[in-house]
């Protein structure tokens, strides 16, 4: 049987003394004078204002440039459209004027031929008799109703031009008033008013088509140069 332990009265059961702990130093807050603080705040405010103003001006400039570009494009398109309208109007007026002039000329020509159907024929024969006065014969074909009148009008011209050949005047039903066919041994001249009208009409159409093509080439956008990579 074991012996109980004896009380050890040499042990100190009082509360231990806490070790002294050095307090941490309080953080040092930088201090500046109020006037300097206010100056820094004012400088920061001005800097922010200038940055905002610069960005606003940049945005405004970009917006204005876009508006200006769009407006220039719109105005350019409007100008092109106006010029095209003017060209179309001018071309239409020119076509109308040319057509009217041609119509007036045809009617005037028809009126003059009705009044003097042999005037152009006599003038044409008179021009031919000079260089052809040595020709052996000359055949003139005119409208059937104009044969006798043409013979009477050509007799003095033949004597005047000294034509020594044989002159034959034939009347045909398919030759219109004012038209004639003049034939000699190695050549001839044809005066056909209907064919002449066709040639004039063709020339007018070709002229108007050329003017329209020229106007279209002026209003067409220029081709952009190709990038050669140099």
Give the pLDDT confidence of 13-48 residue by residue, as tens digits. 555 555 665 666 666 666 777 777 777 778 887 887
**DSSP H or E stretch at residue 115:** helix 34-115
pLDDT band at 195 (very low <50, low <70, confident <90, very high): confident
pLDDT band at 86 (very low <50, low <70, confident <90, very high): confident
Complete edge-to-edge strand list for the sheet that includes strand 137-143: 166-172, 137-143, 180-184, 187-191
What is the pLDDT, as a whole number, of residue 170?
92
pLDDT surpasses 80 at 154: yes
Mean pLDDT of 8-15: 55
Q: How far apart are CA 168 and CA 193, in angstroms?
A: 22
Q: How far apart are CA 163 and CA 129, in angstroms?
A: 6
pTM of the model as a whole: 0.47
């Amino acid at each position: 049987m074991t012996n109980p332990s004896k009380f050890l009265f040499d042990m100190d059961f009082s509360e231990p003394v806490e070790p002294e702990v050095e307090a941490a130093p309080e953080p040092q807050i930088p201090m500046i004078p109020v006037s300097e603080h206010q100056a820094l705040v004012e400088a920061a405010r001005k800097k922010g204002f200038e940055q905002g103003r610069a960005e606003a001006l940049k945005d405004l400039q970009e917006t204005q440039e876009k508006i200006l570009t769009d407006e220039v494009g719109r105005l350019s398109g409007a100008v092109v459209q106006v010029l095209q309208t003017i060209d179309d109007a001018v071309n239409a007026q020119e076509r109308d004027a040319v057509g009217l002039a041609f119509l007036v000329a045809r009617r005037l020509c028809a009126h003059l031929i009705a009044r003097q159907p042999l005037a152009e024929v006599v003038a044409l024969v008179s021009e031919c008799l000079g260089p052809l006065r040595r020709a052996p014969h000359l055949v003139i074909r005119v409208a059937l109703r104009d044969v006798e009148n043409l013979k009477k009008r050509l007799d003095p011209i033949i004597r005047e031009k000294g034509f020594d050949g044989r002159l034959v005047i034939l009347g045909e039903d398919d030759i219109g008033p004012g038209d004639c066919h003049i034939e000699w041994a190695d050549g001839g001249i044809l005066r056909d008013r209907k064919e002449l009208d066709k040639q004039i009409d063709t020339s007018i159409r070709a002229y108007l088509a050329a003017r329209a093509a020229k106007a279209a080439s002026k209003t067409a956008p220029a081709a952009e140069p190709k990038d050669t990579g140099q």
